[in-house]
Amino acid sequence: YKVENRELPLKNKKVLITAGPTQEPVDTVRFFTNYSSGKMGYALAEVAKNLGAQVTLVSGPVDLDVLPGVETIKISSADEMFEAVTSRFDEQDIVIKSAAVADYRPKDVHDKKLKKQGHDITVELERTTDILSTLGERKNHQYLVGFAAETDQHLEHGKRKLQKKNLDAIVINDISNPNIGFKSDDNEVNILTKTGQEYAISTRSKKEIAQELLTLIMKDMMGEAK
């Protein structure tokens, strides 16, 4: 980034970040979800704002404080996140998808609380739309960053997602390690870029990881990364 922009290197840049889990209803009082805390996405939003960006945060239900100076759009289902993100995609410069979006939702959503039966029941699940893949297909000028949550062979799986979803970079979380990720304040990640760079960031706070990731993105966008 330019020397004169060192203070606020993301000034005049629009950054959209997704955070947290989604909730997929079964009936009026129940839903499927996951353990995502939203901490990584909120840390990214805060750091991006402090770097001067105009930040939009599309957030699933989380137990985190609202970030001053960040436009926050609260959604609950994968479908609502899809709408919120795709409708704002065109004008963005950087999009970072750290949300843990449900891959499946109940096929039939009951409009009343389901009554207990005298027998077992089966809930049929259908696929949600992959938001990130949709953005990868639609992108023109945007720098697109995905996350990958993997329990095994995390680098290989991450690399495959980077290519398949047409991303500029991917942040790979090894979620088999119980000390980091999801609910934790700390994280440990590998970052791969489309330009073939690989970074291993050892355990540190999500805020520090957010700082590192945004610095790498800015360098990669400017073609300056070493």
Between 53 and 149, CB nearer to ligand CTP? 149
CB of 211: closest distance to ligand CTP in angstroms?
19
- Alpha-helical runs (H) found in the chain: 39-50, 78-86, 131-138, 154-164, 206-221
Q: Is 169 in the site for ligand CTP (CB under 6 A)?
A: no
Of the CA atoms within 13 Å of residue 88, those in its CB half-sphere come to 24
* 214 token code pair: 């945004």
Give the residue numbers marked as catalytic.
34
CB of 146: closest distance to ligand CTP in angstroms?
4
Instruction: State the CB neighbour count (10 A cutoff) for residue 214.
Output: 22
Between 9 and 146, CB nearer to ligand CTP? 146
Between 38 and 146, CB nearer to ligand CTP? 146
For residue 148, the cross-strand partners are: 172
Report d(CA 111, CA 186) in Å as an integer: 40
From the list 101, 144, 189, 192, which residue makes contact with ligand CTP (rule: CB under 6 A)?
101
- Choose the one of ligand CTP, Ca ion, none that binds residue 146, judging by a C-beta under 5 to 8 angstroms depending on kind: ligand CTP
Q: Considering only CA atoms, which of 92, 46, 39, 88 is closest in space to residue 206?
A: 39
Q: Is 77 in the site for ligand CTP (CB under 6 A)?
A: no
From the list 130, 186, 208, 212, which residue makes contact with ligand CTP (rule: CB under 6 A)?
130
* 95 token code pair: 């999009």
- Residue 51 neighbours by CB under 8 Å, 6+ apart: 8, 9, 10, 214, 218
CB of 224: closest distance to Ca ion in angstroms?
32
Report d(CA 213, CA 201) in Å as an integer: 9
The count of residues interacting with ligand CTP (CB under 6 A) is 14
Q: Is 164 in the site for Ca ion (CB under 5 A)?
A: no
Residues of this chain that interact with ligand CTP (CB under 6 A) are 78, 97, 99, 101, 103, 128, 130-132, 146-149, 161
Residues of this chain that interact with Ca ion (CB under 5 A) are 103
